[in-house]
């Protein structure tokens, strides 16, 4: 193997995290184009869900009654996600606010389980955004995952290169592997 081929292979393997990141972001962007159901963005819905608080209150009711049509309405998605529902779920507090998302914390008091739900403004109304690939990319959560994956990937590559160098050097010196 020549040094040129080895360097080219090393470069390709080193760029794999960036290729995977590009694929994930591309999938999320394409999904974002067809994510929402236009019927849920009629004037009646935009008037009803014009504030994050209105959506948060309606979400509490939907989670308590297991109202799948109201959950679909609140999400505004073509393919609504399923959420944990229970009569003992209660809206606790505003958990986090970022540039794009407002996260409210709901709590099921019967099993002591917290459920954060993310709300964002889309087309002049507020919707509940499930934790899918679109949310993963748009919220910026992918940055931490990508960083950790890349560091592990590159550290593994460096260790592998070190072992290959060590074994090739020991073979040249005539030492048993």
Could you tell me if residue 160 is inside a domain? yes
Mean pLDDT for the chain overall: 88
CA distance 150 to 10: 14
pLDDT of residue 121: 93
CA distance 62 to 82: 12
Cβ 141 vs Cβ 25: under 8 Å: no
pLDDT value at 177 more than 90: no
Q: Is 129 helix (H, G, I), strand (E, B) or coil?
A: strand
pLDDT of residue 81: 92
Specify whether 90 is located in the same domain as 75.
yes
Specify whether 153 is located in the same domain as 67.
no
pLDDT of residue 157: 83
Could you tell me if residue 49 is inside a domain? yes
If DSSP states are collapsed to H, E and C, what string results for 4-49?
A: HHHHHHHHHHHHHHHHHHHHHHHHHHHHHHHCECHHHHCHHHHHHC
pLDDT tens track for 113-156: 999 999 999 999 999 999 999 999 988 888 998 999 999 988 98
- Residue closest to 49 by CA, chosen among 130, 123, 101: 123
Specify whether 44 is located in the same domain as 98.
yes
pLDDT tens track for 46-75: 999 999 999 999 999 999 999 999 999 999
Q: Is the pTM of this model over 0.95?
A: no
Specify whether 71 is located in the same domain as 27.
no
Domain count, the chain: 2
Specify whether 148 is located in the same domain as 125.
no
pLDDT of residue 163: 83
Could you tell me if residue 176 is inside a domain? yes
Q: Residue 64: which domain range?
A: 36-130
Specify whether 87 is located in the same domain as 3.
no
CA distance 118 to 139: 10
What number is the average pLDDT over the span 91-95? 88
Could you tell me if residue 136 is inside a domain? no
Cβ 117 vs Cβ 92: under 8 Å: no
Could you tell me if residue 135 is inside a domain? no
């Amino acid at each position: 193997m020549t040094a040129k081929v080895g360097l080219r292979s090393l470069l390709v393997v080193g760029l794999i995290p960036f290729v995977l990141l590009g694929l994930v972001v591309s999938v999320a962007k394409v999904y974002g184009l067809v994510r929402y159901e236009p019927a849920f963005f009629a004037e009646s819905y935009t008037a009803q869900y014009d504030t994050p608080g209105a959506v948060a209150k309606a979400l509490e009711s939907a989670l308590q009654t297991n109202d799948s049509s109201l959950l679909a309405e609140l999400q505004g998605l073509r393919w609504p996600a399923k959420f944990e529902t229970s009569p003992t779920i209660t809206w606790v507090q505003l958990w986090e606010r970022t540039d794009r998302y407002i996260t409210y914390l709901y709590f099921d008091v019967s099993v002591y389980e917290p459920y954060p739900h993310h709300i964002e403004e889309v087309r002049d109304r507020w919707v509940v955004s499930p934790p899918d690939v679109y949310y993963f990319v748009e919220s910026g959560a992918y940055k931490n995952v990508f960083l950790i994956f890349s560091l592990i990937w590159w550290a593994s590559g460096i260790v592998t290169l070190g072992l290959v160098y060590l074994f090739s050097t020991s073979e040249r010196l005539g030492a048993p592997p």
